[in-house]
Every structure is written in structure tokens, then in C-alpha cells.
Amino acid sequence: MASLWRKYILWFAQEHVDFRISEFESIVKMFGLQFRRLTEQTLKPFWVVEFPNVETAMLYASRSVALRAMFELYAHSRKLPEFHERLRAHVDANRNELAKYFRQDTSFKITVETYNKHFSQREKIEKIETMDYLPIEGPVNLKSPQVEWWYIEFWGLDPTAVPEEPDDILFGRLLATGQRNLIKELSLKQRKFIGNTSMDAQLSLLMANQAMVREGDLVFDPFVGTGSLLVSAAKWGGYVLGADIDYMMVHARCRPSRITQKVREKDESIRANLLQYGCADRYMDVVVADFSNPLWHPRISFDSIITDPPYGIREATEKVETKRSPKDIARTDDMVHYPSTSHYSLQNLYGDLLEFAARHLKLGGRLVCWLPFHREDYDPKMLPQHQYLQLVANSEQPLTGNTSRRLLTYEKCSEYSALNPASIGSTQVPTPSEDFRERYFNNALESRKERRMRKAEQREQGRLEMELRGKLPSDGRSQKCELNKARFTGLT
């Protein structure tokens, strides 16, 4: 590939913004792409990036789910007069190369995109007219133009503090769109087999990108559920394998989660999902297995492990009791063993997960998993660590109230050695997240209590104000107020 460093505009969707930079870094690492990122503020939806050639740029766009579209940059400035000067200069300097886009037989369209400030259609046309120096000779075609140019104005991120002048003015030729069409294609709404905790298509695709799933990789999800993460991994060319403790889930016999559905259809399965998306040939198998009692041969190794372990909110965190676990005081070796389940603390679960990944990932392979948090408790020191795994990305997705979850990406950085005494007990889960479930529900109760107190306080305030204005509440109301007052003082 000839090296001809050029500037490109990357236009990102303003959704899951915290995942953007990690996805970018994963894709460039996966394909070994060279780049220079000229935009420092990664929260901006428009970045200017240099790639050594157009093939490199296209490779990046062929995998990004965060990317809306990519343009070849013609001009960029913060000031309008300078922007026009630069656009003119670019067109003059590249006259021969750009001539094919301006030809009489080449239809075109110019789109005006503004961020954080609304402009009417008339105003947008006026903006286009300011570029009448462009030597365009072809006809306008708004439906299917042969060449598409975009004029972009970025008016900051804060809708309450829109600046006087745009922060960025950009112009470029559309080169490619990102892979956001897959979000619709793999949407849970039309998927054959889904459950309460199925991961949505966008996050599943982002996870598979974090895991750098490549054509022919072997990918494993130990908490597979309905197999959403297998779908995205298979879509990127991975051969997929899953396990789950829940027999009914693995066999798609669990209660349907769609309101309109009373019973599961006979042909619902994880395999049927892959078939639906044209990647049934990537399906290896799914097995019923308890992750706390690993069944995998020590020699099996995966290119990546992508998983969403249970947090105990919508599904139980449980494991199967074994004869060797604490309950065996009541049993003897010769007794028949009927497995029962017991609580699988999040701390033990993540400990096991990192240890499993350290043993079974190929060198350089990735573990991508979610970890739930109470936002006020979060401290990076709390993240699980393992001496053979390096944390390479950590993105937050806010959930309800003050809870959130973090998508953690670990990369196996050295070969696991069972003979190395230092590797024994090398997983550290410093602060237990095990009380997540308890805190989740208790917090909900606490906030209800707080809300009751706030309301009572407001009512009391209102009553005092009425009294001050000489408007005493009617008998019935004053009785109620008295009651509330008593309740309120009782609570404090």
C-alpha cells in the first residue's frame, strides 16, 4: 500500500460515548493500523485523524460500530473566513486529483450537518451558496448522487451554552459509513430467541470489537444466556461456543420474555439465532455447565472470552454445590450426590473468571466482561486484577439511579504457568462487589424513604407558609398536616 498520509473526518454517534476511544484503539490494534489522532477531545462527535492511505481508513470504517461516517477532509477551521480560504486552497492544490468529482457527468449532493445548533433549510442552503467557488459542473442528485460532500459545523457539546461561533467548521467527501446498520440488522426486536437479559445488538457488537474478534477466532461466553454475544462474535467471523448453568435457557425452554408470547416456539435456540443472521456455520455448541466447576481441558485455549456475568438483579448468581464444598459435613463420599445450588458471590465469580481467562486465553487474547457498580463507590482500585492479565480498557455505561456497569477489557500479557508458585491465587478482587444486589435493592428502599421525607418536609413548609399568609388550612387538611408532621418528626 502506498503511503500518502491524509486527513479524515470521523463522525461518531453521540451514544455510548465512553466506549468510543476504546473501540477505536481496539480496531487499530486488531488490524495493526497506523494513525495520528489530531482531535484531542474524544467526547467530540467529529474527530480529525490522519491515516497513511485510504485502505487503512476503509479498514477502520469496516469494523467501527461507534462510527456514523468517514469523510476525506478538504478543509477545517474554527473561523469562517479561514475555512473558505483553506477550502479554496485545497481545491486549487489538488485540482487534477479532484477533477473527476467535479465533472459534468458526475452527479453530486452537499449535506449540511450542524451539531448543537438548529438551522432552517433556507439557512442551510445559504451556507451551501457561500461555497459557490467550488468548480462543480455536474447535476444535483439528492437521492443517489455519485459524490457526496458534507459541510459540518460543530457548536460545542453543551446545549445550555452554545458558543457565538462554531467550534469547528469542516468540509469533506463522504468515503464510507460505519457499521451501524448492523445494530438494526441484529436488533433484539426481530430476533428469534431472546430473554430478559439478552444484550442489545449495539453493545454486543462493541464488546466483540473490544475482544478484537477476527475471522476464524475461537470465542467463548461462559454465561451465554440467549447467546447475544455469540451472535456479534459470529458476525465478525468468530467460531462461537457458550455455556450456562440454566438448562432451560440453554435449551430455549425458559419462560418467554416477549409480552405477546405465551409459550416458546419449538425452533427457538441460540443456533436458530445464528442461522437467522447467516452465520450458522460459526456455531460450535452451547453446553449446560456451572462456571464455578470448570469442565474445560487445560489445553483448550480461546482467542477471546466475551461475557456478561449475572449480577443477581434479573437472574440469580448461583453455583452448583459439590461434595467438597462447605456443605459436605452433612454428606459422606458414598452418598448419592444431588446437586443443589448456592449463592455465587460476585467476588468469587470475577475471581474465577480472571483465573479462567489467564489459563485459557491465547497470549494476546482478550477477556471482555461487565462489572456492576454503585457509582459513588467506584474506585479504579476496586477492579479485579490478575498478574497475567492487563486491563486495557474500562468504559462506563450508566444504569438506573446511581448504579452503572463498566465494560472491562483485559489482555493476556504472559503465558500462564501452573508451576509458577506466584500464579496461585494471583487473582485479586480487592473490594468485593458481592453486595451489589443487596445495595441495589436497599438503595431503592432508602431512596423511597428519602422521597417520603422530602415530600413531608415540602408539605410542612407549605403549611407554614400558608399560616404566615394567614390562610389556615381547613380542618381536614390541618389534621392531615398534623399527621404528616408527626410522621416526619417520627422519622428524624
Ligand X SMILES: C[S@@+](CC[C@H](N)C(=O)[O-])C[C@H]1O[C@@H](n2cnc3c(N)ncnc32)[C@H](O)[C@@H]1O
Cell numbers describing residue 348 = 468469587
- Nearest one of 14, 60, 16, 10 to 34, comparing CA atoms: 60
Among 23, 246, 268, 321, binds ligand X (CB under 6 A): 246
* Cβ-Cβ contacts under 8 Å for 309 (sequence gap 6 or more): 222, 223, 317, 346, 349, 350, 353, 369, 370
Q: How far is the CB of 352 from ligand X (least distance, A)?
A: 9
- Nearest one of 86, 254, 73 to 151, comparing CA atoms: 73
Beta bridge partners of 306: 368
Among 244, 303, 321, 355, binds ligand X (CB under 6 A): 244
Segment near ligand X (CB under 6 A); pick from 120-128, 132-140, 284-292, 417-425: 284-292
| Burial bucket for residue 84 (CB in 10 Å: 0-12, 13-18, 19+) | middle
Among 240, 249, 367, 383, binds ligand X (CB under 6 A): 249
**Sign, Cα dihedral of 53, 57, 58, 63:** positive
- Give the binding-site size for ligand X (rule: CB under 6 A): 24
Q: How far is the CB of 291 from ligand X (least distance, A)?
A: 4
Cell numbers describing residue 95 = 485540482
Cell numbers describing residue 392 = 486495557
* Residue 310 touches ligand X, criterion: CB under 6 A: yes
What three-state secondary structure class fits 82?
A: helix
Among 16, 191, 271, 319, binds ligand X (CB under 6 A): 319
Site for ligand X in 53-82 (CB under 6 A): none
Q: How far is the CB of 247 from ligand X (least distance, A)?
A: 9
Q: How far is the CB of 371 from ligand X (least distance, A)?
A: 12
Site for ligand X in 343-402 (CB under 6 A): 344
For 40, left (φ over 0), alpha (ψ -120 to 50), or beta?
alpha
Among 23, 153, 290, 321, binds ligand X (CB under 6 A): 290
For 236, left (φ over 0), alpha (ψ -120 to 50), or beta?
alpha
* Residue 226 touches ligand X, criterion: CB under 6 A: yes
Among 228, 269, 423, 427, binds ligand X (CB under 6 A): 228
Cell numbers describing residue 187 = 436488533
* Residue 318 touches ligand X, criterion: CB under 6 A: yes
Segment near ligand X (CB under 6 A); pick from 29-37, 42-50, 192-200, 435-443: 192-200
CA distance 465 to 487: 19
Q: How far is the CB of 338 from ligand X (least distance, A)?
A: 17
Helix (H) or strand (E) holding 462: helix 436-468
Q: How far is the CB of 318 from ligand X (least distance, A)?
A: 5
Segment near ligand X (CB under 6 A); pick from 84-92, 244-252, 297-305, 459-467: 244-252
Binding mask 141-180 for ligand X (x = CB under 6 A): ----------------------------------------
Comparing CB distances to ligand X, the nearer of 23 and 246 is: 246
CA distance 129 to 151: 11
Length in residues, the chain: 492
Among 45, 172, 178, 195, binds ligand X (CB under 6 A): 195
- Nearest one of 10, 17, 65 to 35, comparing CA atoms: 10
Comparing CB distances to ligand X, the nearer of 64 and 345 is: 345
**Is residue 340 a contact partner of residue 346, using CB atoms and an 8 Å limit?**
no
Binding positions for ligand X, rule: CB under 6 A = 195, 197-199, 223, 225-226, 228-229, 243-246, 249, 290-292, 308, 310, 315, 317-319, 344
